[in-house]
Amino acid sequence: MLTSFIQPEFKVEIDRDKCIKCGRCVQQCGWGVYSFAERPIPDDSKCRACHRCVTYCPAHCITIKRNELVFRDSENWSPALRKAVWRQSESGGVMLTSMGNDKPYQRIFDYLVLDACQVTNPSIDPLREPMELKTFIGRKPDSVEVESDGEGGYRLAPGAGMENNIELATPIMFGGMSYGSVSLNVHKSLAMAASRLGITMNTGEGGLHADLYPYTDNVIVQCASGRFGVDADYLNRGVAIEIKVGQGAKPGIGGHLPGEKINKEVSTTRMIPQGTDAISPAPHHDIYSIEDLRQLIYSLKEASGYKPVGVKIACVHNVAAIASGVVRAGADYVYLDGFKGGTGAAPQIIRDHVGIPIEIAIAVVDQRLRDEGIRNQASIIAAGSIRSSADMAKAIALGADAVAIGSAALIALGCHVCQSCHTGCCSWGITTQKPELTRRLDPEWGAERLTNLVHAWSHELQEILGALGVNAVESLRGSRERLRAIGLDASTCEILGVKPAGM
């Protein structure tokens, strides 16, 4: 019998007139598409359309095309669904995928537009006037006490000012991606860039490799249910600690790094044996209630000299009530991860069908915390497919204090969104632990690209703020009056607290 009905998704075409038979494609492909017998011979079925071979072919003779097999039309039974049924009837397995939700759900950011000043309220030119992007993440006091500085001025009274906050030069953080799911060179690139930019990178739940110790003033360390690599030293190195409760790509699902990815370095950093599966249970088993969450938050504070402790949650139906509980439990920030957020591996059915959009979550959480009078107690970080500075500006206008980027940062490092991180064969050396692949990413080069990206977005944010006639990102935060909706239904507009364009 045939082993599979599934035909290749892509066609690898080599222009034989141009091919110089150098074999570069054979060497570059992480999935072993090419064999070589006097000339490169591609196996289409292995191709992921990651363009590594295309990019590195010196003769520019490779093209990847979609395998345009025609199926009898059925709007109900899409080719993708037919293939999924075949795949699962062949193996009986759960379909695993990576990156973020790729289904055509409405992308609310694309239906929101920003305001600008005209005539009466002049806009500001950020090239010539100061434009403040500095952002402080953490608890702000209910009130401040000031005292005379003895010279006619005032200063904060001792003990009456700010709690420990994370200082960001621009309202962007790198989201949590673990060493194990990504390579050490990715972690180094992120850490070096964060350090140069005055922002933060986030370890994810894979521990902190010793090579990152020089950058820990710009590293947030994560404590997730598997507690991999978490000890007192780890907690004390970071600038803040993040309890990962959920992830937008897989709400309610634990993590599972397959044994193949646990090499010696990963095993040392995670403090687990080589080659065994690293299983993060779906819940933290010491958190079954808001009171338990409070106990863990303050335990982490006790162990770290009272550093800020944030809590990352996936955006699900009752996100506003959950976030309220998280803030009341003592979190210094709530990290909201929307349903388009990325992952190094998740069951496809969960990635594509569970959770709610980040835009909705920001709006309802910000509103709920304001209504309850506790908005000052925690910052809101928004993540889950922040794709441009426009998304960032809109997220901040909806109520976020800052945004976190994961996928965008990886794309800057060469990711082509082929959604195959879970295979561990990333040809770009990003989501793999194979030494011959990871060495393709030079951390110095990576840090420069990430620095460029964040600088570019920051400049664009300054332009947006200037157009809005404000001179600090503080003035945009939660300012939904500066947003309008085009083509969103009335109930979505109401939930977002945004008027339709024209009103």
Collapsing DSSP to helix, strand or coil, 347 comes out as strand
Q: How many Cα neighbours within 13 Å face the side chain of 402?
A: 27
**In the bound complex, what is the minimum distance in angstroms from residue 93's beta carbon to other proteins?**
3
Examine residue 230 and tell whether it contacts other proteins (CB under 8 A).
yes
Of the candidates 92, 122, 130, 153, which one interacts with other proteins according to CB under 8 A? 92
**In the bound complex, what is the minimum distance in angstroms from residue 391's beta carbon to other proteins?**
29
Tokens of 52: 């590594």
Name residues contacting other proteins, limited to 409-428 (CB under 8 A): 422-423
Examine residue 434 and tell whether it contacts other proteins (CB under 8 A).
no
What is the x/- site pattern for other proteins, positions 155-194, by CB under 8 A?
A: ----x-----------------------------------
Examine residue 216 and tell whether it contacts other proteins (CB under 8 A).
no
Of the candidates 95, 113, 290, 316, which one interacts with other proteins according to CB under 8 A? 95
Q: Smaller CB distance to other proteins: residue 258 or 497?
A: 258
Cβ–Cβ under 8 Å, residues 363 and 480: yes
Examine residue 227 and tell whether it contacts other proteins (CB under 8 A).
yes
Instruction: Mention every residue, 6+ apart, whose C-beta is less than 8 A from residue 114.
Output: 390, 393, 394, 397, 464, 467, 468, 482, 483
Q: How many Cα neighbours within 13 Å face the side chain of 138?
A: 18
Examine residue 346 and tell whether it contacts other proteins (CB under 8 A).
no
Examine residue 217 and tell whether it contacts other proteins (CB under 8 A).
no
Measured between alpha carbons, how far is 250 from 339 in angstroms, rounded to an integer?
A: 8
Measured between alpha carbons, how far is 224 from 204 in angstroms, rounded to an integer?
A: 8
Examine residue 67 and tell whether it contacts other proteins (CB under 8 A).
no
Measured between alpha carbons, how far is 238 from 222 in angstroms, rounded to an integer?
A: 9
**In the bound complex, what is the minimum distance in angstroms from residue 190's beta carbon to other proteins?**
25
Radius of gyration of the chain from its Cα atoms, rounded to whole angstroms? 24
Cβ–Cβ under 8 Å, residues 138 and 172: no
Residues in the chain, overall count: 503
Q: Smaller CB distance to other proteins: residue 90 or 129?
A: 90
Name residues contacting other proteins, limited to 133-152 (CB under 8 A): none
- Please calculate the CA angle 169-140-231 and round it to the nearest 5 degrees: 75
What is the x/- site pattern for other proteins, positions 264-303, by CB under 8 A?
A: ---x---xxx-xxx-x-x---xx--------xx-xx--xx
What is the x/- site pattern for other proteins, positions 96-125, by CB under 8 A?
A: xx----------------------------
Beta bridge partner(s), residue 166: 137
Measured between alpha carbons, how far is 411 from 61 in angstroms, rounded to an integer?
A: 24
Q: Which of 424, 449, 425, 428 is nearest to 439 (CA)?
A: 428
**In the bound complex, what is the minimum distance in angstroms from residue 199's beta carbon to other proteins?**
27
**In the bound complex, what is the minimum distance in angstroms from residue 289's beta carbon to other proteins?**
11
Q: Smaller CB distance to other proteins: residue 141 or 435?
A: 141
- Give the footprint of other proteins on this chain (CB under 8 A): 87-88, 90-97, 159, 225-227, 230-233, 235-236, 256, 258-259, 267, 271-273, 275-277, 279, 281, 285-286, 295-296, 298-299, 302-304, 422-423
